Structure 1
Amino acid sequence: MAEVIAQEKQGGKQKKKLIRVDMTPMVDLGFLLITFFMFTTNFTKPNVMDLGLPAKGTPPSGPVVDQRNQVTFILGKDNRVFYHQSNETDLNSENLKETDFSGVKISKIISEAYKKAPVPENFTVIVKPTDDANYKNFVDILDNIAISKKERYGITDIKPWEEKVYTELTQ
């Protein structure tokens, strides 16, 4: 632990005592303290959003969602996102509008569509990622749905009639 070393000065008149402290136990104490604080610290838990997916097999039957009672987001390449409230016969390049993920634009679009919905309790947000979309944009759109507090949403593949209009706009 600690040693006292007595040294004599040349001339023999005065003895000088040197004290040497062994720091090895302090290293052990440091590691014990680090371990203690690591075990007692509260680590933040990740925020997880539940995503209920249907079981494989026959699709569930239910009410068909009216186009005025939903808003559809198409996630494209290069962080582009398009939206519409049209059906197969009405959708064209003028109805398919483009927005981006900056600010609260998507949440605002969802809330405006919700206000115009004839049956608000059946209002549904539909997300259709293309093959060129990236995962970050998909998570961002789900975050915007959670921010707008809409609990009815669906994720599906882009339909051929939507893909036709989408490719017209992206080329």
Structure 2
Amino acid sequence: MAEVQIKEQSNGKKTQNKKPIRVDMTPMVDLGFLLITFFMFTTNFSKPNAINFSNPPRNTGEPTEINYKNSITFILGKEGKVFYYQADKKDLNDNSLKQVSFDKAQVAKTIETAKANAPKKENFTVIVKPADDSEYKTVIDMLDELALTKSERYGIAEMNGKEKELYQNKVQ
């Protein structure tokens, strides 16, 4: 382990040389690797958090028409702003696009209210449309809200021209 070198002088006396103390670090290195190995085998590694997306059913040949009374559309904007509407596309105007936030579960309450008022609750669909300047965090927060409200039917789509125009008017 540690050794002290003793040097004999020419007159026959043994003296202790104070400088050349040498500590053998080999056992410490071995112990370090053993500890690292032990902690690697006994540590629980965190599992990655993933959102489960389900694929839509195979096309049966019949086009699926989504009634606006049976759906709600969310537009995700910049800086975490969220807008929604529940109207026919031809009836869209500035008054139909309303702002809501993730605070105090407002998005969840909006989804639950729209689902409760839907004529066919089993076919209720949530449509999420992120804007070009929306943040990734906002999309993930929206998907979390869909999971919390147990919304099984949802889709992510692009905004059309009228929606982009209304969104730009609301943001400015």
| Fold-level similarity (TM above 0.5) | yes
* 60-69 vs 130-139, which moves further: 60-69
Distance in 2 (CA, whole Å) between partners of 1:120 and 1:80 is 27
| Equivalent in the alignment of 1:15 | none
Q: Label 1:46 to 1:99 Cα distance change in 2 as closer, same or farther (>3 A).
A: same
Aligned residue identity for 1:30 = G
- Pick one of 46, 49, 52 that aligns with 2:51: 49
| Equivalent in the alignment of 1:157 | 158
Question: Normalising to structure 2: TM-score of the pair?
Answer: 0.79
Secondary structure of 2:79 counterpart: coil
Distance in 2 (CA, whole Å) between partners of 1:61 and 1:78 is 39
Question: Normalising to structure 1: TM-score of the pair?
Answer: 0.80
| Equivalent in the alignment of 1:100 | 101
| Equivalent in the alignment of 2:74 | 73
| Equivalent in the alignment of 2:17 | none
| Equivalent in the alignment of 2:30 | 28
Q: What's the CA shift for 1:72?
A: 0.5
Secondary structure of 1:104 counterpart: helix
Distance in 2 (CA, whole Å) between partners of 1:135 and 1:53 is 21
| Equivalent in the alignment of 1:63 | 64
Tell me, which stretches of 5 or more residues in structure 1 are unaligned? 8-19
Q: What's the CA shift for 1:3?
A: 4.8
| Equivalent in the alignment of 1:10 | none
Distance in 2 (CA, whole Å) between partners of 1:122 and 1:47 is 28
Secondary structure of 2:109 counterpart: helix
Identity score, percent: 52
Q: What's the CA shift for 1:158?
A: 0.6
| Equivalent in the alignment of 1:112 | 113
Q: Which has the larger share of helix? A: 2
Query: How many residues end up aligned between the 2 structures?
Result: 164
Matched, 1:128 2:129: yes
Tell me, which stretches of 5 or more residues in structure 2 are unaligned? 8-21
Deviations 1:36-77 (A, max 9, x none): 2113312111121123467xxx9x753211111111100112
Secondary structure of 1:103 counterpart: helix
Q: What's the CA shift for 1:118?
A: 0.7
For the aligned residue pairs, the C-alpha RMSD in angstroms reads: 3.0
Distance in 1 (CA, whole Å) between partners of 2:74 and 2:160 is 12
Distance in 2 (CA, whole Å) between partners of 1:86 and 1:24 is 75
Deviations 1:57-108 (A, max 9, x none): x9x7532111111111001122211001111222211111001222311111
Aligned residue identity for 1:140 = D
